[in-house]
Amino acid sequence: MWLPCGCTSKYVASSFARRTLASYLHVSGRSRCNVAAFMPEAAGLEGVSGRAALRELSVSNSESFWAAVARHRLCWSTPFHTVQDCDLSRGKIKWFEGGKLNVSVNCLDRHVHTCPERVALIWERDERGSEMKYTYGELLEMTCRLGNLLRRHGVKRGDCVTIYMPTCPLAVASMLACARIGAAHNVVFAGFSADALAERIRDAQSSTVITVNQGVRGGKVTELKKTVDTAMQSCPTVKQVFVAMRTDNPVTMTARDIAMEEEMLKEDVVCEPAVMNSEDVLFLLYTSGSTGKPKGLVHTQAGYLLYAALTHRYVFSYHDGDVFGCVADIGWITGHSYVVYGPLANGATTVLFESTPIYPDPGRYWDMVERLKINQFYGAPTAIRLLLKYGDQWVNKYDRSTLKTLGSVGEPINTEAWEWYHRVVGDGRCPVVDTWWQTETGGICIAPRPSDPDAEIVPGMAMRPFFGINPVLMDTEGEVLTSNNTSGALCMAQPWPGMARTIHNNHQRFIDTYFQPYPGYFFTGDGAYRSEEGYYQITGRLDDVINVSGHRIGTAEIEDVVNQCPAVAESAVVGYTHSIKGQGVYAFVVLKKGIDVQEADLSRQLNGMVSEKIAKYASPDFIQFAKRLPKTRSGKIMRRVLRKVVESDLEGLGDLSTLDDPAAVQEIIQDINISA
Ligand code: PRX
C-alpha cells in the first residue's frame, strides 16, 4: 500500500491520481503555455498564460490551484474530497479533508524507491571538516528503527513526544519517526533552559522525551541530558527519556532513561506507517507572544507539508540534485520547514548545521559552502551583520561558485548587510531572497521569488506574495488600505494550507490573537509598507514581541522572570536597535521600597535568572534601575514611551498628556544607559 509516487501501486495509481489535473479544474479556455515548464504542478491549470496569471489564479481560484499542486506534489493513500473548509472569522482552518497520507512516506519512502543512494542529509558537525552524509535509504532505516522503538515503548498515535536535541541526523529521524507512527512532535530549541523546557513539556502533555547526552556547539559542550534531568523534577508525567550519544562521555542514567542507539539496533528496519488524516496534528512548536506564556502553535499533516515543499522549491529555485544549506536550528520553524520537511519532501540533499558562523573562525559558512558544494544558502541577517564586520577576506578565501540563491530570514535585513551578502558572498550574481514568514504561517509568505528570474529585487524588501497568499494592509480603524505607497498592519485576507490551525489547548487564544483584531483576516502582528510598485517591506512587530539575533521573544516573558526576584517591585522590558543582534533587550527595573543592594550585583542576578528560566539570548543587555515607570492614569506602563527613550528618539515621544506624572519620563531619560 505504501509505495511511492511513480510506481504502479494501488497507493498512487488510483483512478484519482491518474485523472488529469485539468479534469478537476473548472478552468477552461486557452491553450497551455510555459507555465507547465515553470511549475509542472500547474500543468492542468488551463487558460493560465504566464507566471503572473498563475499567481493571479492562485488567489482568485485558490481551490483549483491548491488542489492541483496537492495532487501533484504529495503522495496520498486516499484522495481528499474537500480542498478547503476555512472560516477566518472563527479561526477555522481545514485543508484537504478526506485525504490520507503519511508525512514520513512523503519525505523518505518515495525517494528511496527512486534513488535510495541519494544523499538526504549532510551533517555539518561542529568539528570542521568532519561532515557525515546519510542517504535516503539510511535515513529511512534510522526513522523506521526509531518508530518501532517508540511504538514498543508505548508511544501511540496522537501522543506528543518532546525532542530536545541539537541539529543532527537523529533529531531529524526522531521528528520523522513521530510522523511515521502518527505521534506529534514538540521540538524544543536546545538552547532553552530547564525551566523553559519543563514548561513546554507540561503544556504539551508529553510523556516521552528524546535528548542527547551532551551537545557540542562552537567548541563548547552543553549538558543537555542534565538539563532534561532538572526539567524532570517538575514534569511528573514523563515516563521515559530516550538518550542518544553525541559525545563519548557517559551520563548518569536513571530508571526512566533509555539508551537510544543501543535499543534502535534491536528494532526492525521496516516500520508500517500510520495512515494519517490531512488534519491530524503533525507537530506543536512553541513561540513567543505578547503575554508571558509561550504558545504551542499546532501544524497539521498535508497542508503544512505541501506548503513547505512548494515554497522550498519555488522561492529558492531548488532543482533536483541541488544541495540546500539552511543554517537554522531545528528548534525553530525555519529548521522544521527548510532544514527538514520542505527539502526532504522534495528529495533534496539538506545540510544540518551544528556549529556557529564564527567557529573556529569567521570563514566557517563559506568553507562549508565550498566543501559541501552548497547551491542555496539560507541564513539570518544577524549572522550576516556579524560576518560583515570581520571583512571580505573570510569570504573570498573560499570557492562559492556553486551558490545560486541566497536567502535571508527571521528579521529585517538592513541595506548594508543585504548589499554585502549580494556583492561579496554572492559575487553579485546570486539573487538575495529576503523571506518574510512566521511560526504561524508554516512557510514563506512574502519573498522576491518566484517571479521572472530577471524581475527586480529591491534590497531589504521581501517584495512579493507567494502563490495563494493575499496580503492586505489595515489602517488603525481596521479598514483595508487599498492604495500603494502606504503602511499598515499586515494581515492575510485568505487562508493557505501552511497556516497554523490552533494554539494547543487554547483555541480561544488563537482566535483572540490572530482573528479578532481584524475580523475575517489573519493578523500577523507585523507592520508593513507597500511601495508605489506594490512591493512589501516589513517594518517590524506591532506588539510586545522583540527579535533578538533572529530569536523571537515576548518582553512579557522576560518581565515575568525579572519580577520573580524578591527585590523587584515591577519592571518593563523593551527592545532597542542593536547593530549585530537586530534588537537588544533593555530592562527598566523598580525595586521594592527599603531594598538596599548593589545595583551591579542585582543586575548579575537578574541576568542569571533570565538565562536560567528562559535562555541566554533573552538576558538583558542593559538594566536600568528606576524610581518609577511612566504610567497612564489608569496605571498602565507606557512602553511606547520607553521604546522611544531607549532609541534616543525624544522628538518622537508623542502625546504624553495621558501620563499620570510626566516627570517620570524625565527621570528615566536622565539615567538612560545607552545612546542607541
Ligand atoms: O517580525 C517578523 C520577523 O520574525 C517574526 C516571526 O518570528 P518566528 O515565528 O520566530 O519565525 C522566524 C522565522 C520565519 C515575524 O513576525 N520576521 C521574519 N522574517 C522576516 C521578519 N522581519 C522582517 N523581515 C523578514 N524577512
pLDDT tens digits along 111-131: 999 999 999 999 999 999 999
Question: Which residue's CA is the nearest one to ligand 1's atom 5?
Answer: 438
Residue (of 349, 435, 424) closest to 393 by Cα position: 424
Residue whose CB lies within 8 A of the most ligand 1 atoms, among 438, 458, 490, for a mutation test: 438
Kindly report which listed range (341-350, 449-458, 579-588) carries the lowest average pLDDT score.
Answer: 449-458
Question: Which residue's CA is the nearest one to ligand 1's atom 24?
Answer: 412
Report the pLDDT value the prediction gives residue 22, as an integer from 0 to 100. 29
Verify whether ligand 1 is closer than 6 Å to residue 498 (CB atom): no
Diameter over CA atoms, the chain:
82
Rounded CA Rg of the chain: 25
Q: What is the mean pLDDT of residues 155-159?
A: 98
Verify whether ligand 1 is closer than 6 Å to residue 583 (CB atom): no
Residue whose CB lies within 8 A of the most ligand 1 atoms, among 307, 414, 547, for a mutation test: 547
Report the pLDDT value the prediction gives residue 25, as an integer from 0 to 100. 29
Verify whether ligand 1 is closer than 6 Å to residue 525 (CB atom): yes
Question: Which residue's CA is the nearest one to ligand 1's atom 18?
Answer: 410
Verify whether ligand 1 is closer than 6 Å to residue 447 (CB atom): no
Q: Among all chains, which residue has been given the C-alpha cell 508505548?
A: 154
Q: 113: how many CB neighbours lie within 10 A of its CB?
A: 18
Q: What's the whole-model pTM score?
A: 0.92
Contact between residue 231 and residue 201 where contact means Cβ atoms under 8 Å apart: yes
Q: What pairing do the DSSP bridges indicate for beta strands 622-625 and 582-591?
A: parallel
Q: Complex ipTM, two decimals?
A: 1.00
For residue 513, the SS3 value is: helix
Give all strands (DSSP E) within 315-436, no chain letters.
Answer: 323-326, 349-353, 376-379, 405-409, 432-435
Question: Which residue's CA is the nearest one to ligand 1's atom 22?
Answer: 411
Residue (of 376, 522, 536) closest to 466 by Cα position: 536
How many whole angstroms separate alpha carbon 46 and alpha carbon 61? Answer: 12
Verify whether ligand 1 is closer than 6 Å to residue 439 (CB atom): yes
CA distances from 548 to 278, 399, 554, 586, 676 (A): 35, 31, 10, 11, 15
Span from the CA of 123 to the centroid of ligand 1 (angstroms): 26
Verify whether ligand 1 is closer than 6 Å to residue 120 (CB atom): no
Could you tell me what percent of the chain has a pLDDT over 70?
A: 95
Report the pLDDT value the prediction gives residue 451, as an integer from 0 to 100. 86
Report the pLDDT value the prediction gives residue 7, as an integer from 0 to 100. 32
Residue (of 565, 559, 608, 605) closest to 585 by Cα position: 559
| Stronger pLDDT, 474 or 43, i.e. the higher one | 474
Report the pLDDT value the prediction gives residue 675, as an integer from 0 to 100. 53
Confidence of residue 52 (pLDDT cuts 50, 70, 90): confident
Verify whether ligand 1 is closer than 6 Å to residue 510 (CB atom): no
User: Cell triple for residue 635?
Assistant: 496605571
How many whole angstroms separate alpha carbon 360 and alpha carbon 463? Answer: 35
Residue environment code for 565-580, b if the CB has 16+ CB neighbours within 10 A, otherwise e: beebebbbbbbbebeb
Question: Which residue's CA is the nearest one to ligand 1's atom 15?
Answer: 438
How many whole angstroms separate alpha carbon 50 and alpha carbon 42? Answer: 11
| pLDDT exceeds 90 at position 222 | yes
Which contacts (CB < 8 Å, 24+ apart) does range 23-26 have?
Answer: 24/64, 24/67, 24/68, 24/71, 25/61, 25/64, 25/67, 25/68, 26/64
Q: For helices 599-613 and 555-563, what crossing angle results, to 10°?
A: 120
Residue (of 72, 553, 583, 579) closest to 345 by Cα position: 72
Question: Which residue's CA is the nearest one to ligand 1's atom 11?
Answer: 438
Residue whose CB lies within 8 A of the most ligand 1 atoms, among 286, 378, 411, for a mutation test: 411
Q: Is the dihedral of CA 346, 349, 350, 352 positive or negative?
A: positive
Verify whether ligand 1 is closer than 6 Å to residue 538 (CB atom): yes
Q: What is the mean pLDDT of residues 501-521?
A: 97
Verify whether ligand 1 is closer than 6 Å to residue 311 (CB atom): no
Q: Which atom of ligand 1 is nearest to the CA of 540?
A: 1
Verify whether ligand 1 is closer than 6 Å to residue 289 (CB atom): no
For residue 349, the SS3 value is: strand
Residues 6+ apart with CB under 8 A from 441: 496, 498, 499, 500, 524
Residues 6+ apart with CB under 8 A from 97: 80, 81, 82, 85, 277, 278, 279
User: Cell triple for residue 550?
Assistant: 533572529
How many whole angstroms separate alpha carbon 65 and alpha carbon 470? Answer: 14
Report the pLDDT value the prediction gives residue 27, as an integer from 0 to 100. 29
| pLDDT exceeds 90 at position 634 | no
